[in-house]
Amino acid sequence: MRLGLSQSLRTEQRLVQSPQMIQAMQVLQLPLLELKDQIDQELQENVFLERKDEAERTDGQPPPTPEPAPQIEDRLQREFAAEIDQLEARLEPNWRQRSGSFSGDDEDKKLEALANTPGRGTSLAEHLMTQVRTQESDPTLVRVIEHVVFSLDEDGRLHETAEQIAQQLAVPRPLAEEGVEVVRDLEPVGVGARDLRDCLLMQLDHMQFVRPLTRRIVEHHLDDLAMNKLPKIAKETAASVEEVKESWEFLRVHCNPHPGAEFAGPPPSGVVPDVVIDEIDGRFEVKTQRGSLPELAISPIYRNLLQEARNDPKVYEYLRRKIEAAKWFIEAVHQRQNTIERVATEIVRRQEGFLRHGVQHLKPMKMQDIADAVHVHISTVSRAASGKYIQTPQGIFDMKRFFSSGTMSDAGDMVSQQAIKDTLRQIVDAEDKDAPLSDDQLVDELGKRGVHIARRTVTKYRKALSIDSSTRRKRF
């Protein structure tokens, strides 16, 4: 055996993703609002990428013909300039057509409500600290109280102990305990509680009269109450079921288990559909919604800059990279709109029954089916549907809602999971609450409607719909 270095040649095929391909996939996956932020960022970072003039977009006239490019002797420069011209010529009709479809009175008026968001409210921490600043003057104590206030969770609960707070702030434990007690005395009553039981007891302590049974239930039978075990509570407290129900109703009406929930939390994120479906003359038309996305173009100043930089290879290469990045980004945004429209059009073609009659007529559909129909990879369909919303005559839905497997019914038709879940909810809503249906009985009820699924599947669907078990749904 000889050991040494040698050279050899071999041929192989590998799939390599270029930076442009990665960028196109990332743009495709972005929801409409995030895409707008990405476009704004690209406009700031690349001077060759610019917005088209608003007047040019709305006057309906074709864009002015650019000045002829100066004679460039370098072949690479001439080819690159021609490539930009082709890009502008190819994209211009598409951008103008899409912007015209969603301008003025033609834009769906239903989308106006989506832009109306409430003003910023007061947070729980701000509300509590406002009370503290009018009551306490000791800066050391205020510092401890502020730490406690900003340690509360969204329900107003405090999970840190006084000892832990003292260690973190390097203060005496009595001072930390005093800070916790100050917070527990603030409004709303119940903030600073350790758990649900502590929260309810704090609120009961502030009431003038509370039945002993009510307090006893909170102190010793809160878990049984959550599990709807009213007969067990009645037996252990020597009270009647009606008295237990009265105490439960008192707690529901006069106590708030989440005292911090009424204050402002993180601002809600708006939902802007990427696709709008309108029924026109009995046919469904698909329109990709561009929303407030600006029209993009490559700045014409690049021609002069290329001409000026022809004698400086480094500057010329820098300009060329920036122009190429702008070109690829415009292409990626255009390709995103085209892909989403093709995917949505195929979804509409297959789900016309749902669009006309509701979720009971939603057909089973897989991403692979759409991928085969529009001749793209299944991962492309997944990216096109991820985080996208579609406005239909039945409401606004996550595009991925349309993809689900199905079950064969007695009639020989495939029924989607969404339709089965909707049927399951209807059965539960119509049941006798004094004798709610068990999962086995729900299986029988679905069978009467021609849908046969296993009990464990019914349990899975029930939990997915946040429907309690029959024991917890029972009304005494």
Q: What is the DSSP string of 371-405?
A: HHHHTS-HHHHHHHHTT-EEEETTEEEEGGGG-B-
How far is it between the farthest Cα atoms of the chain? Answer: 101
Cβ-Cβ contacts under 8 Å for 189 (sequence gap 6 or more)? 202, 203, 206, 259
Backbone angles phi, psi at 98, to 5 degrees: -70, -35
Tokens standing for 101? 């479809």
Task: Return the bridge partners of 397, or none.
Answer: 390
Question: What's the rounded Cα separation, in Å, for the pair 71 and 302?
Answer: 14
Residue linked to tokens 């968001």: 117
**Could you give the domains of the chain?**
125-254 (no CATH), 404-476 (1.10.10.60)
Range 231-237 contact pairs with CB under 8 angstroms and sequence separation of 24 or more: 231/476, 237/213
Q: Find how far residue 181's CA is from the centre of its chain.
A: 38
Tokens standing for 232? 């067990």
Q: Say how many C-beta atoms besides its own lie within 10 A of residue 139's C-beta.
A: 7
Among 19, 30, 99, smallest CA distance to 288 is for 99
pLDDT value for 54: 40
Tokens standing for 334? 């255009």
Contact, 391 vs 277, CB < 8 A?
A: yes
- How large is the C-alpha radius of gyration of the chain? 32
Question: What's the rounded Cα separation, in Å, for the pair 333 and 342?
Answer: 14
pLDDT value for 100: 40
Tokens standing for 105? 């009175």
Task: Return the bridge partners of 406, or none.
Answer: 416
Question: What's the rounded Cα separation, in Å, for the pair 346 and 371?
Answer: 10
Contact, 350 vs 75, CB < 8 A?
A: no
Backbone angles phi, psi at 350, to 5 degrees: -85, -20
CA angle 96, 98, 102 (to 5 degrees): 115
Contact, 438 vs 451, CB < 8 A?
A: no
pLDDT value for 25: 83
Helix axis angle, 19-29 to 313-350, nearest 10°: 40
Q: For residue 206, give the 3-state DSSP assignment.
A: coil
Question: What's the rounded Cα separation, in Å, for the pair 284 and 393?
Answer: 10
pLDDT value for 469: 87
CA torsion 13-15-18-20 (nearest 10°) is 130
Q: Which residues of 277-312 are buried (b: 16+ CB within 10 A; e: fewer)?
A: beeeeeebebbbbbbebbbbbbeeebbebbbebeee
Tell me the pLDDT of the chain (476 aa) as tens digits: 567 777 878 777 665 566 777 778 888 888 888 888 888 888 888 877 888 754 354 444 444 444 443 443 455 556 556 655 655 555 554 444 444 444 444 444 444 444 444 445 678 888 888 888 888 778 888 899 999 999 998 888 999 899 999 998 889 999 999 999 999 999 989 999 999 999 999 999 988 888 999 999 999 998 988 888 899 999 999 999 999 999 999 998 999 999 888 775 555 556 788 888 988 888 888 888 766 677 888 777 766 676 676 677 787 777 778 888 888 888 888 889 899 999 999 999 998 888 888 877 888 888 898 999 999 998 899 988 888 889 888 888 888 888 877 776 666 666 778 888 888 998 999 888 888 989 999 989 888 888 888 888 889 888 888 898 888 888 87
pLDDT value for 217: 93
